[in-house]
């Protein structure tokens, strides 16, 4: 299978491209310099030249707080982008895999969200991702929309400038006192585990919307505590509220996703979040950092 992965320099793509290649696919990584998803003609020129049998879009604008001030860029990348990709993929008869987010939900449900739950985003980033999902469903039925949560991977998020695990390790090793948000529950998900799951899913023709996060749930504070415990570090770490963190955008208080559709197919391969973290810590090779409130 000839696969184009858009967002090739990003965190998820870094793990997805080798996973696809290991499964026997011919992988073409499209970097931002190769394709501009907000520009229909750029999308058409790149994809027509690549002749993909399937396209995976990992490109996004996901600086959640910044989107509140600069929504135009987010809507261009997160909504017009999938629209452009859907149109060209439809012309090429190539299925389109598109990454989405737990932030399409408000968190008010208070129990894990399944794919059939109505979306009700509480920030502009989530609204832009909902718009992208809707454009794709409307334009091109041969799609997989894959919603995930709290991604971390060895490349670090290109858009956010790092990942939460590396930031925690760096702060701890610098002897800094650390405050972490303790009123948002989610499921941190390693891009390595997600990549394995996506490769398995796209081998089917079971198009539709999928939740794909690790199993279990925790707060960002719990996640930080587990990072330190598993790394043998003992920094001074205190919980804080989202309000205290100074975040501009509202966050869902409870954005845990249940991988219900994957379970229905008998192909939920996602590990528990603690196990995925241990795998990451064992294999980590890259260290980056960034301010804490832009990651949570
Ligand atoms: N990170 C999370 O915690 C999280 C949680 C839930 C869902 N997701 C979703 O998962 C997906 C992958 O996330 P990630 O962490 O791997 O993202 P990432 O590291 O920020 O990678 C995004 C990639 O897309 C490229 N890109 C950005 N704008 C583009 C454009 N207009 N045209 C073409 N390429 C563009 C970026 O290149 P440049 O950097 O060169 O611009 C980068 O290579 C996204 O859809 C995101 O919404 C992420």
Q: Which atom of ligand 1 is nearest to the CA of 99?
A: 45
- In a mutational test of the pocket of ligand 1, which residue from 151, 213, 280 has the highest number of ligand atoms less than 8 Å from its CB? 151
Q: Count of CB atoms within 10 A of residue 102's CB?
A: 23
Q: 8: CA distance to ligand 1 center in Å?
A: 9
Q: How far, in Å, CA of 92 to CA of 86, rounded?
A: 10
Cβ atoms of 241 and 184 within 8 Å: the answer is no
Q: 205: CA distance to ligand 1 center in Å?
A: 25
Q: 234: CA distance to ligand 1 center in Å?
A: 32
Cβ atoms of 294 and 65 within 8 Å: the answer is yes
The pLDDT of residue 120 is 98
> For ligand 1, is residue 270 a contact (CB within 6 Å)?
no
CA distances from 252 to 183, 190, 229 (A): 9, 20, 26
Q: Which atom of ligand 1 is nearest to the CA of 160?
A: 20
Q: How far, in Å, CA of 83 to CA of 44, rounded?
A: 12
> For ligand 1, is residue 14 a contact (CB within 6 Å)?
no
> For ligand 1, is residue 126 a contact (CB within 6 Å)?
no
Cβ atoms of 180 and 240 within 8 Å: the answer is yes
264: left (phi over 0), alpha (psi -120 to 50) or beta: alpha
The pLDDT of residue 293 is 39
Catalytic residues, which ones? 125
SS (H, E, C) the chain: CEEEEECCCCHHHHHHHHHHHHCCCEEEEECCCCCCCCCHHHHHHHHHHHCCCEEEECCCCCCHHHHHHCHHHHHHHHHHHHHHHHHHHHHHCCCEEEEEEHHHCCCCCCCCECCCCCCCCCCHHHHHHHHHHHHHHHHCCCEEEEEECCEECCCCECCCCECHHHHHHHHHHCCCCEEEECCCEECCEEHHHHHHHHHHHCCCCCCEEEECCCECCEEHHHHHHHHHHHHCCCCCEEEECHHHHCCCCCCCCECCECCHHHHHHCCCCCCEHHHHHHHHHHHCCCCCCCCHHHCC
Q: Residue whose CA is closest, atom 37 of ligand 1?
A: 32
Q: Residue whose CA is closest, atom 39 of ligand 1?
A: 158
Q: How far, in Å, CA of 202 to CA of 243, rounded?
A: 40
The pLDDT of residue 295 is 39
The residue among 230, 243, 221, 224 whose CA lies nearest residue 171 is: 224
> For ligand 1, is residue 154 a contact (CB within 6 Å)?
no
- In a mutational test of the pocket of ligand 1, which residue from 4, 5, 8, 12 has the highest number of ligand atoms less than 8 Å from its CB? 12
Q: Whole-prediction pTM value?
A: 0.95
The pLDDT of residue 289 is 42
The residue among 158, 168, 160, 165 whose CA lies nearest residue 189 is: 165
- In a mutational test of the pocket of ligand 1, which residue from 5, 59, 188 has the highest number of ligand atoms less than 8 Å from its CB? 59
> For ligand 1, is residue 59 a contact (CB within 6 Å)?
yes
Q: Which atom of ligand 1 is nearest to the CA of 76?
A: 31
The residue among 90, 1, 87 whose CA lies nearest residue 52 is: 1
> For ligand 1, is residue 77 a contact (CB within 6 Å)?
yes
Q: What is the mean pLDDT of each run of 10 residues along the chain (296 residues)?
A: 97 97 98 98 98 98 96 98 98 98 97 98 98 98 98 84 92 94 98 98 96 98 98 96 94 98 98 97 63 39
Q: 235: CA distance to ligand 1 center in Å?
A: 31
The pLDDT of residue 296 is 36
User: First-to-last CA distance in the chain?
Assistant: 36
The pLDDT of residue 92 is 98
The pLDDT of residue 275 is 98
């Amino acid at each position: 299978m000839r696969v184009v992965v858009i967002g090739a320099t990003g965190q998820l793509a870094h793990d997805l491209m080798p996973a696809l290649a290991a499964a026997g696919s011919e992988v073409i990584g499209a970097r931002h310099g190769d394709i501009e998803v907000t520009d229909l003609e750029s999308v058409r020129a790149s994809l027509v030249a690549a002749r993909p049998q399937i396209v995976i879009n990992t490109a996004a604008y996901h600086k959640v707080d910044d989107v509140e001030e600069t929504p135009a860029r987010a809507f261009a990348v997160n909504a017009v982008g999938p629209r452009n990709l859907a149109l060209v993929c439809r012309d090429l008869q190539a299925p389109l895999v598109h990454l989405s987010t737990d932030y399409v939900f408000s968190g008010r449900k208070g129990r894990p969200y399944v794919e059939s739950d109505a979306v009700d985003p509480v920030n502009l980033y989530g609204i832009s991702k909902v718009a992208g999902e809707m454009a794709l469903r409307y334009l091109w039925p041969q799609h997989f929309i894959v919603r995930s949560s709290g991604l971390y991977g060895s490349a670090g998020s290109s858009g956010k400038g790092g990942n939460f695990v590396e930031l925690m390790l760096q702060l701890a090793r610098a002897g800094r006192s650390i405050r972490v948000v303790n009123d948002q529950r989610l499921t941190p998900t390693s891009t390595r585990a997600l990549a394995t799951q996506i490769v398995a899913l796209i081998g089917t023709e079971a198009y539709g919307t999928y939740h794909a996060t690790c199993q279990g749930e925790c707060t960002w504070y719990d996640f930080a505590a587990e990072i330190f415990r598993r790394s043998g570090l003992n920094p001074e770490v205190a919980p804080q509220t989202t309000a205290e963190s100074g975040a501009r955008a509202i966050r869902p208080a409870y954005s845990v996703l249940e991988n219900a559709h994957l379970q229905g197919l008998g192909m939920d391969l996602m590990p528990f979040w603690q196990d995925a973290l241990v795998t990451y810590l064992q294999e980590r090779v890259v260290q980056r950092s960034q301010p804490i409130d832009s990651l949570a």
